[in-house]
């Protein structure tokens, strides 16, 4: 007999898990990319927020924020038409647009409202979000593998998570640490298909991933409209992630088993740097300073090059100094000319 799914009241959070039937290892990199696109498209349409996620080869984890239904603002027709091609196939999208066009031509605003209401009923619902995500992935995988029938082992599992910083950070870290625990990578930022890696990737989806992780911090929980600062979120979450992910030896007295994870030295280094990524870790990623910083070096070097550039008319004559501190890591004495602010590390 199925256990009734426990739902929260108002704004609520859930850890959701679903596995492939027979636990077959079928998701390849391209499939995970498709899955992430489906996830982000449904997130944009349904008003559900993905705090973080992890796609493995035979299952996935999601930490979702479900909005208070009474506070979820309905989609305008303009916003709906913009998102429609991302949630419907071309034929279905064209049919809906034609239906709206006929209603407008006839001056029948009630018919327009009815079309929008049909889609609006699907928004802000945990069960509807998970149903559509799994259904879309089933269709895709069945076509790719030339198979039929169910893709998923059973209905998804969900755990209602308290909307507190400690609970959310703990579950988020558990999700992002999955590939480390499985021995696939040594660091979560090296596994491309989890929320933390996407957040520091600098790709198009990095902004959404950063906003998601920012939701887990106490300030955002108190004020859902607060714009989070990724520099602060990144440092705090990275420190929490490494502390939670420390390796563990088996203990015969407490009956705890061994656990893959980070060495105590690695954890100490992250804690000591207050979550700032060291240069050795940062340079494995795309660093915009190296391509767009114009001048890079220690303070005296940058200032001297800046002075030469000013005197030759190549650099801003109104600028008083050339050296700017670099963001995203502990860069030591290094400075750059350009004060880059967006997607510094990718």
Instruction: Report the distance separating Cα 64 and Cα 49, nearest Å.
Output: 6
Domain enclosing residue 172, as ranges: 12-70+124-222
What are the tens digits of pLDDT across the range 22-71? 889 999 999 999 999 999 999 999 999 999 999 999 999 999 999 988 88
Both 216 and 295 in one domain: the answer is: no
The pLDDT value recorded for residue 279 is: 63
Same domain, 165 and 301: no
Q: Which two tokens stand for residue 243?
A: 């502390």
Same domain, 64 and 183: yes
Q: Which of 176, 192, 222 is the endpoint of a domain?
A: 222
Confidence at residue 161, expressed as pLDDT on a 0 to 100 scale: 92
190, 222, 254: which is the final residue of a domain? 222
Do 206 and 327 belong together in one domain? no
Whether residue 255 lies inside any domain: the answer is no
Q: Nearest Cα to 129, choosing from 72, 170, 175? A: 72
Q: Which of 222, 246, 264 is the last residue of a domain?
A: 222
Q: Are residues 185 and 306 in the same domain?
A: no
Task: Check whether residue 218 and residue 293 sit in a common domain.
Answer: no
Under 8 Å between Cβ of 126 and 7? yes
The CATH code of the domain that includes 176 is 3.30.70.1290
179 three-class SS: helix
Which pLDDT does position 1 carry in this prediction?
Answer: 42
Check whether residue 51 and residue 164 sit in a common domain: yes
Classify residue 236: in a domain, yes or no. Answer: no
Q: Does any domain span residue 7?
A: no
Its pTM stands at 0.79
Residue 55 belongs to a domain: yes
Tokens, residue 244:
């939670």
Provide the b/e sequence for 218-245 (b: ≥16 CB within 10 Å).
Answer: eebbeeeeeebebeebbbbbbbbbbebb
Quick check: is 277 in a domain? no
Euclidean distance between CA atoms 238 and 270, whole angstroms: 8
Structurally, the chain folds into a number of domains equal to 2
List per-block mean pLDDT (blocks of 10 residues) for the chain, which spans 346 residues.
61 92 93 96 94 96 91 89 90 93 92 92 93 96 94 90 89 92 90 93 84 87 77 86 83 63 82 68 65 81 86 86 80 82 67
Three-class SS state of 282: helix
Q: Tell me: do 208 and 329 sit in the same domain.
A: no
Note the helical H segments in the chain: 29-46, 77-87, 90-105, 109-120, 126-145, 165-176, 178-181, 195-199, 206-214, 218-222, 230-244, 264-272, 279-282, 289-292, 299-311
Q: Are 290 and 284 in contact (CB under 8 A)?
A: no
318 and 172 part of one domain: no
Say whether 161 sits in a helix, a strand or coil.
strand
Tokens 């990275």 locate to 238
pLDDT single digits (tens) 99-125 = 999 999 999 999 999 999 999 999 999
């Amino acid at each position: 007999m199925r256990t009734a799914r426990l739902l929260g009241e108002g704004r609520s959070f859930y850890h959701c898990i679903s596995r492939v039937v027979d636990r077959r290892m079928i998701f390849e990199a391209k499939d995970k990319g498709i899955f992430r696109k489906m996830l982000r498209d449904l997130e944009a349409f349904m008003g559900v927020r993905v705090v973080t996620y992890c796609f493995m080869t035979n299952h996935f984890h999601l930490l979702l924020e479900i909005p208070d239904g009474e506070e979820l603002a309905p989609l305008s027709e303009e916003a709906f038409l913009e998102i429609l091609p991302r949630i419907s196939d071309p034929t279905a999208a064209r049919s809906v647009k034609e239906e709206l066009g006929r209603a407008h031509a006839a001056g029948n605003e009630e018919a327009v409202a009815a079309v929008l209401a049909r889609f609006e009923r699907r928004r802000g619902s945990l069960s509807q979000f998970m149903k559509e995500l799994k259904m879309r992935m089933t269709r895709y995988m069945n076509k790719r593998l030339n198979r039929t029938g169910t893709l998923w082992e059973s209905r998804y599992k969900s755990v209602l998570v308290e909307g507190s910083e400690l609970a959310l950070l703990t579950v988020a870290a558990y999700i992002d640490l999955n590939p480390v625990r499985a021995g696939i990578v040594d660091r979560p930022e090296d596994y491309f298909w989890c929320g933390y890696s996407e957040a520091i990737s600098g790709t198009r989806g990095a902004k959404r991933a950063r906003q998601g992780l920012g939701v887990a911090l106490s300030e955002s929980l108190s004020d859902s409209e607060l714009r989070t600062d990724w520099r602060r979120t990144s440092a705090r979450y990275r420190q929490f992630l490494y502390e939670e992910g420390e390796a563990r030896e088996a203990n015969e007295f407490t009956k705890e088993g061994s656990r893959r994870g980070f060495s105590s030295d690695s954890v100490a280094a992250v804690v000591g740097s207050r979550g700032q990524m060291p240069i050795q870790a940062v340079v494995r990623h795309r660093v915009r300073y190296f391509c767009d910083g114009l001048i890079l070096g220690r303070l005296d070097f940058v200032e001297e090059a800046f002075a030469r550039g000013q005197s030759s008319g190549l650099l801003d004559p109104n600028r008083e100094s050339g050296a700017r501190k670099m963001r995203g890591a502990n860069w030591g004495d290094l400075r750059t000319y350009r004060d880059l602010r967006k997607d510094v590390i990718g």
